[in-house]
Chain A
C-alpha cells in the first residue's frame, strides 16, 4: 500500500517535469510555463491526479458489482453531498443577489461561497429545530407500538431493516430518524441557551470590570485566570461528576446542571473579551461625557458600551457557540451530557457507533452514527465559515 503510494508519487514527479516541458514547447516558452517552478508543476499534476482519482472512485461507487460499490459508497455520498451543497450555496447566493433590499444585495455580492453555504446551512438547521415536531414522523420518546426494537438502519429487509424506518429503531424501539430530527431541537437548542447564558454572565461581568476597575476588576480577573488554567473539558467532567450526585438529591435534571456548568466555564472566555473591548471603549470621550452628565452604571454599560462592542461580541458569539456545542456533544458522547430520554446527537453517536464496522457489507447501516456526528460537524463548520467571513469583512483585510 505504502509502496504503491510512493511509486505513484515518483511517477507523478516524472509527469510534472514532462508537463512543464510540454507546456514550454507547446506555448513557445510563454512566461507562465517558462517561470513555473518545479513545485508548482508538481502541484498541478498532483491536483489533476487527485481529481482523476476522485472521478474514478465515484464511478466505482456507481458500479454494478455490489462489493465494489459498497467500498466506495461513502466516497460517492461525500462527493455527491459536496457538489449538491456547492450548487445549493451558489443558487442561494444568486438568489440573495437578485432579491431583497439594496443592503442585503450588497452583502451577498461580496460573499464567498463558503459563507453563503454557512448561512444556508444555519437556516436549514433552524427550520429543523423549530419545526421538529411537524417534520419528524414519530415523537422523540415515542415507542412505536407493534414495532420491533433494534431494526438495522438501511431499510433492507434482508439485513433486518424495515423500509418504514429508513434509519432503523434503537434498543427500545424508537425511530432513529425522528430522534435525529429532534436532536436538532435538543442539542442545538441547549447549546444555544448555554451560549446565551455564558454571554449574559461573562459579558455583564466583563463590562462591569472594565467600567468600575479597581478591586472588583482585580478579583474577577484573577478568578477567571484560575478557572482558565484548568482545561475546560476536564473541568466540566469533574464538575459533572459532582453534579450527578447533587442532581437526584435536589430533584433538578442533570441537563440543567450541565447548562450552568458549561455556561460558567465558557463565560470566562467571554469575560476576557468583554473586558478587553470594554476597556478600549471606557476611555472614550463620550463615556466621559456620559459620566459628567451623571448617568448611572446601567446606562453606561447597556446604552454606551454595549452598542459599541456589538461587532466583536457577535463574532465571538459564533465561535463560542461552536465551542459550547462541541463540548456538549463531547460530554454527551462520553455519557455524562444531555440525558435520555431527550434525543441528542452525541449520545446517538455513542450508541450507534458500532454500526460503522458493518460498512463493508451494509453501507446504509453505518450511515446512522455518521449522520448524527456529521450533523454536529456540519453545523460547526457552517458557523465557522460565517464567522470567518464576518471577521474578514470587519477587519478590512484584503490579503
Chain B
C-alpha cells in the first residue's frame, strides 16, 4: 500500500507544481498588456498625479515579482482582487465602500456552474455507460452503427449548434423546457432543475460520445479473455456476462474517461452558458473578456485551469487506485 501512497503523493505534488506554473503563465500573459491600465481608464484627461494615484491604488507601481507574490498571497487568502469594472477608486472618490471584489462576484456564479455540471454529470454518466454497454452487447448491429454515427455527429458539432437545435425542438416547437436559464438565488430546487435542463442536455450530448465509445471499447477489449469465455460456456446470458464479469474489470478506463470528460465540461460550459444566458462563471468570463476586466479574467482563467488540473489529477489517481497490480505489489 505504501507504494501506491508514494505514487499518489508524487502526483499530487506534481499537480501543485503545475498549478503554480500555470498561475505564473496566466500572470505573465496578463501583464504583457501594453500601456497602463491607469492611463487607459483616465483617457485623454489623465494628469500625472491622477495616474500615479490610481497606480498606487491598484498596486501597479510595484515590481512584477512583488505583484505576482501579492496576487498569489491574495488568492490563498481567498482574495481575488477588485474588479476593474466595479472598482471605485478610493483615492479618487475619497470613500472606500461598495467596491465589489472579484471573489464576491465569482462565488455565486461558481456555485451555479457547479450545479449545472452536476446535473449534467447525473444525466450523462449513467446514460453513456448504459449506451456503451448496450453497444458492446449488440456490437456490429444496426443499433451499434446508429449509436456510433449519432454520437460521432454530436461530438463533432459545435456546442451552439446542438444548443439551438435543442431550443428549436424542446423550447420553441414543443414548449417543454424554457429556453432561458435565468436562475437566481432562492429559487426552488425543482424549478432550478427545470430551467437548467436544456443547457444540461446540450452538455450531455457533447460529452456522451467519448464516454460511451470508451465504455464500449473497454468492454469489447475484455471479451476475448479466457474468463469471459468461461462465463459464456457456463451458459450465462450475454447481458450477465457483460455486466457481472466484463464491466468490473473495464471500470478503470471508464472512470478515467469520465473524469477527463468532466474536465472537458469545464470548457464546454462557456459557450453553452452564453447561449442559454445561464448566470454561471463561463458567462462572467466572456463578459469580462469583452470589457477587458483583467482581474476577473485572470481569476476566472485560474479557476478554470484549477478545476481542469484537479479533474485530470483525479483521473490519474483513480486509474492508479483501480489498478490491482499497483495496489497489491508482489
Contact = CB atoms under 8 A, between A and B. Distances in A.
Given A37-B238, A238-B26, A231 B266 contact: yes
Shortest Cβ-Cβ A-B pairs, 9 listed = A377-B157, A373-B161, A380-B156, A231-B267, A384-B156, A234-B304, A233-B267, A377-B161, A359-B172
Contact of B169 (A43, A74, A385): A74
Interface in A213-227: 225-227
B244 to A, nearest CB: 16
Given A230-B22, A388-B152, A399 B167 contact: no
A374 B173 CA distance: 18
A370 B169 CA distance: 12
A217 B182 CA distance: 49
24 contacts: A39-B239, A226-B22, A232-B267, A237-B286, A240-B289, A246-B34, A326-B156, A326-B158, A330-B159, A333-B158, A334-B270, A336-B289, A346-B160, A349-B161, A349-B164, A357-B179, A359-B168, A359-B173, A360-B173, A366-B168, A377-B157, A380-B156, A381-B157, A399-B140
B320 to A, nearest CB: 19
A59 to B, nearest CB: 17
A334 B18 contact: no
Contact of B308 (A47, A74, A229): A229
A189 interface: no
Interface in A366-399: 366, 369-370, 373-374, 376-377, 380-381, 383-385, 388, 399
A59 B286 CA distance: 43
A334 B33 contact: no
A231 B161 contact: no
A186 to B, nearest CB: 16
A225 to B, nearest CB: 7
Contact of B158 (A235, A249, A373): A373
Given A47-B142, A230-B22, A239-B29, A336 B290 contact: yes
A244 B152 CA distance: 35
Contacts of A373: 158, 160-161, 164
A1 interface: yes
A69 to B, nearest CB: 12
B289 A241 contact: yes
A252 interface: no
B21 to A, nearest CB: 5
Given A233-B267, A353-B275, 20 more contacts: A39-B137, A39-B239, A226-B21, A229-B18, A230-B25, A230-B308, A231-B305, A234-B308, A237-B270, A237-B297, A238-B301, A241-B292, A244-B292, A349-B164, A369-B164, A370-B164, A370-B168, A380-B156, A381-B153, A385-B152
A399 B164 CA distance: 36
Nearest to B34: A249
Contacts of B149: 114
Interface of A: 1, 37, 39-40, 43, 47, 71, 74, 114, 225-227, 229-235, 237-242, 244-246, 249, 322, 326, 329-330, 333-336, 346, 349, 353, 356-357, 359-360, 366, 369-370, 373-374, 376-377, 380-381, 383-385, 388, 399
Contacts of A366: 168, 172
B297 A238 contact: yes
A89 to B, nearest CB: 12
User: Most chain-B Cβ atoms within 10 A of its Cβ — which of A71, A238, A245, A374?
Assistant: A238
Contacts of A241: 289, 292, 294, 297
B163 to A, nearest CB: 9
B67 interface: no
A335 B22 contact: no
B30 interface: yes
Contacts of B33: 242, 245-246
Given A230-B305, A234-B301, A349-B160, A242 B152 contact: no
Contact of A322 (B156, B263, B312): B156
Nearest to B304: A234
A229 B302 CA distance: 11
User: Most chain-B Cβ atoms within 10 A of its Cβ — which of A43, A234, A244, A334?
Assistant: A234
A229 B22 contact: yes
A330 B18 contact: no
Contacts of A47: 142-143
A386 to B, nearest CB: 11
A242 B271 CA distance: 20
B65 interface: no
Interface string B213-254: 000000010000000000000000111000000000000000
Nearest to A78: B165
A381 B151 CA distance: 10
Contact of A1 (B21, B176, B275): B176
Given A43-B143, A334-B270, A376 B289 contact: no
Contacts of A357: 172, 179
Given A43-B138, A226-B18, A237-B270, A380 B143 contact: no
Contacts of B239: 37, 39
Contacts of B142: 47
Contact of B271 (A43, A334, A384): A334
Nearest to A350: B160
B25 A231 contact: no
Contacts of A380: 156-158
A384 B168 contact: no
Contacts of B309: 229
Given A47-B142, A245-B33, A245-B34, A377 B156 contact: yes
